[in-house]
Amino acid sequence: MEKLPKIAFPVIIGAIILIVLLAKSAVTVGSGEAGVLYKTFDNGVVIDEPPLGEGFHIVAPWNKVIIYEVRQQELFEKMKVLSSNGLEIQIDASAWYQPVYSDLGRLHQNLGENYLQRVIQPAIRSAARSVVGRYTPEQLYSSKRDAIQDEIFLETKKILEKQYVQLNEVLVRDVTLPNTIKDAIERKLKQEQESLEYEFRLVTAAKEAEKVIIEAEGKAESNRILSASLTDKILQDKGIDATMKLAESPNSKVIVIGSGDSGLPIILGNQ
């Protein structure tokens, strides 16, 4: 086997070094991720340029790239907080969040990769304590679930405004009260419902009675007016008119003049 020329060894060694350098310099940013560039010999974290987007990148081997997930993420929290009257309430909530893409370098520089534990969790816990402390257990159990959800979201978002984190939504999934308080509230709500139902029946009955009275009064007034207007003279005139119409009818009949009450005729027929 012939010996390789002496110049071949430096070329091979150079190629190996180049491959190693390329391997160390190649960075792949996955889907839903972004990279923060750290320049070892040039002021550290790069904050005045956009982060590295998805795909393949070549960076100097002495620099580093810190990968962050930038898609929306979800945080689940179980928190024990106090109501306005000092009772312990458990809130099960979740927060949808993501880092602000354009501020990813500042996020890394100021908070680091564990920004969730440093700012988001303390923020939502503080907001939950503040909001729930305004309400009674009864309000939390029955009618204020949506209200506290919105208020926790707004207060948490306000805390995170300058923390390079975007809060998209806060969902209150469950509010758990002590069993004794829950049972007392349910009994009270049941009694209130029964009371409202009884009041409704009373109102309905009163309206029906009022309707009957009004109808009776109207009928009585109608009869009174009718009785006052029917004089003997009017009755006689109406009797004469009816007799004349019957007399003109082709049906056979017998009319006895002056034999009825008040001198009105009696009509005798086949029917």
Q: How much is the average pLDDT of 71-92?
A: 89
How many of the other CB atoms lie within 10 Å of CB of 58?
10
**DSSP calls for 158-207:** HHHTTTTEEEEEEEEEEEE--HHHHHHHHHHHHHHHHHHHHHHHHHHHHH
Q: Which pLDDT value is given to residue 71?
A: 95
Domain 73-177 has CATH 3.30.479.30: yes
Q: Which pLDDT value is given to residue 252?
A: 52
Q: Write out pLDDT tens, residues 97-138.
A: 999 999 999 999 999 999 999 999 999 999 999 999 888 887
Q: How far is CA 270 from CA 208, 253, 255, 259, in A?
A: 49, 7, 12, 19
Structure tokens at 79: 């928190």
Give the global pTM: 0.61
Q: Which pLDDT value is given to residue 51?
A: 93
User: What band does 1 get if pLDDT is binned at 50, 70 and 90?
Assistant: very low
How many of the other CB atoms lie within 10 Å of CB of 24?
13
Q: What is the mean pLDDT of the chain?
A: 79
Q: Are strands 266-269 and 88-99 parallel, antiparallel or unpaired?
A: unpaired
**DSSP calls for 68-135:** EE-S-EEEEEEEEEE-TTS-EEEEEEEEEEEE-GGGHHHHHHHT-TTHIIIIIHHHHHHHHHHHHTTS
Contacts of residue 30, defined as CB under 8 A and 6 or more positions apart, other chains included, come to: 54, 67
Contacts of residue 117, defined as CB under 8 A and 6 or more positions apart, other chains included, come to: none
Name the percent of the chain lying above pLDDT 90: 34
| Domains of the chain, residue spans | 8-69, 73-177, 180-229, 232-269
The one-letter amino acid code at 258 reads G
The one-letter amino acid code at 143 reads S
Q: What's the number of CA atoms in the CB half-sphere (13 Å) around residue 239?
A: 19
Contact, 139 vs 196, CB < 8 A? no
Rounded Cα distance between 37 and 35, Å, is: 6
Q: Which pLDDT value is given to residue 269?
A: 56
Taking only Cα atoms into account, the Rg of the chain, rounded to an integer number of angstroms, comes to: 47
CA-based nearest residue to 123, from 175, 76, 159, 97 = 159
Q: Write out pLDDT tens, residues 14-47.
A: 556 555 555 567 888 999 999 999 998 888 999 9
Rounded Cα distance between 121 and 239, Å, is: 98
Q: Give Cα 205 distance to the centre of its chain.
A: 37
Contact, 62 vs 100, CB < 8 A? no
Contacts of residue 127, defined as CB under 8 A and 6 or more positions apart, other chains included, come to: 151, 152, 155, 156, 159
